[in-house]
Structure 1
């Protein structure tokens, strides 16, 4: 790469929340070429005049299909990081995207695996380039938007309970959430047509049967509330 060139890429922080889990997981891809061949990294693609992408969004979809091999419930651009040191090949830029995957998303390729998001965000699992930083940026965006939106519901099964929704909210925020406040949000979403009462119930191993709901997203983005889910000072 000449000194006049800047390497540009799109990298994906793809998250899932397995049923019954309290912790988010991030999908990583084992690099197949240098630099950092054989290391786990965020799935991503290079973008330049020779690639077929016509936008950053189309490059993100290419990364999801070619590298991550998943179809997300939700995709959002987080931001761009760049400097002369993050890549040993020279000056580079990475535009990071946050993707929320189905709760039961699985991977069959041995080059793909899910890791605990907290371990990656806190650099207990070290990734090449600045991918640990990108994971933290996506985690911060997810938490910030979850306070005011229905974003965590994209992580749930097609049918979910109030307790499932509570778990997703807490996993995204990284702190406890008042169950009554969450129930009020779900009721508002139900009235507005964003959540449907299926009329069905599941029977947990212990306790009472729980009502099953379905998230009916309207448009491409989450519902935005006018108040924070968390009390002031949180």
Structure 2
């Protein structure tokens, strides 16, 4: 790379709820080219005058399509990071996105795998460039919006229980949440048409049957609440 070029990319922090567990996983792609060939990294693409993208959103969609073959339930731009040191090829910047996937999302091939988010955040899984930082910042955005919005519901199956929603919210926040407060939020969402009571119940192996709900978002966005989900001072 010459001293006048800046390498630009779009990278995706794609998260799902772990199957049969109450924690988040991040989707990683094994790099096929240098630098860092063979290492696990965030799926991403280069953007420049030779690529077909007409917007950053189009580049993000291309990254998911070409590198992962998954379609997110929700995606938003988080921010841009750049400096002269994050890429060995020279000055570079990354515009990175948060994508939420359904819990049953599967991937094919040896080049794709889900990793526990906490392991990446704790840097037990080391990613190239500054991808550990991008994951951390995307998680911070998710946690911040969870306090005031319905965003975690995009991580749930088509039909879910209160306990499912509680698990997703707590996974996004990284801390416990009052069950009663969450029930009040779901009731508010039901009144506003963002959640539907299916009239069905599941039958767990242990315990009583649980009401099944369905997330019915409007316009592919999140509902914003007036008050924080967490007690003041937390």
TM bracket (short chain): over 0.9
Q: Mind listing any 5+ residue stretches in structure 1 that lack a counterpart?
A: none
The two structures, once aligned, show a CA RMSD in angstroms of 0.6
2-structure distance, mates of 1:132, 1:22: 22
Aligned pairs for 1:154-233 (under 5 A) are 154-233=154-233
Aligned partner of 1:55 in structure 2 is 55
Shift of 1:73: 0.2
The aligned length equals 234
> Per-residue displacement from partner, 1:180-223 (whole Å, max 9, x unpaired)?
00000000000111000000000001000000000000012100
The 2-side partners of 1:195 and 1:103 are apart by 18
Question: Comparing 17-26 with 190-199, which one deviates more in the overlay?
Answer: 17-26
* Other structure's SS at 1:102 match: coil
- Is the aligned partner of 1:76 residue 2:92? no
Give yes or no for the alignment of 1:120 onto 2:120. yes
Residue 116 of structure 2 corresponds to residue 88 of structure 1 = no
CA distance in structure 1 between the partners assigned to 2:210 and 2:195 by the alignment: 16
Please name the residue that 1:2 is paired with. Answer: 2
CA distance in 2, matches of 1:33, 1:181: 48
Q: 1:30-55 deviations in whole A, cap 9, x for unaligned?
A: 00000000000000000000000001
Separation in structure 1 between the aligned mates of residue 54 and residue 210 of structure 2, nearest angstrom:
46
Q: CA deviation at 1:233?
A: 1.1
- Structure 1 stretch 15-24 or stretch 168-177: which is displaced more? 15-24
Alpha-carbon distance in 1 for matches of 2:50, 2:190? 47
Pair 1:19–1:37, CA change in 2 (3 A): closer
Question: Matches of 2:63 and 2:144 in 1, distance apart?
Answer: 25
Deviation at residue 19 of structure 1 after TM alignment: 4.1
The secondary structure found in structure 1 opposite 2:157 is coil
Deviations 1:6-50 (A, max 9, x none): 000000000000343111000000000000000000000000000
Give CA deviations for 1:57-89 in whole Å, capped at 9, x if unaligned.
000000010012100000000000000000000
User: What TM-score do you get using the length of structure 1 for normalisation?
Assistant: 0.99
Q: Secondary structure of the residue that 2:148 maps to in structure 1?
A: coil
Scaled by the length of structure 2, the TM-score of the pair is 0.99
Matched residue, 1:153: 153
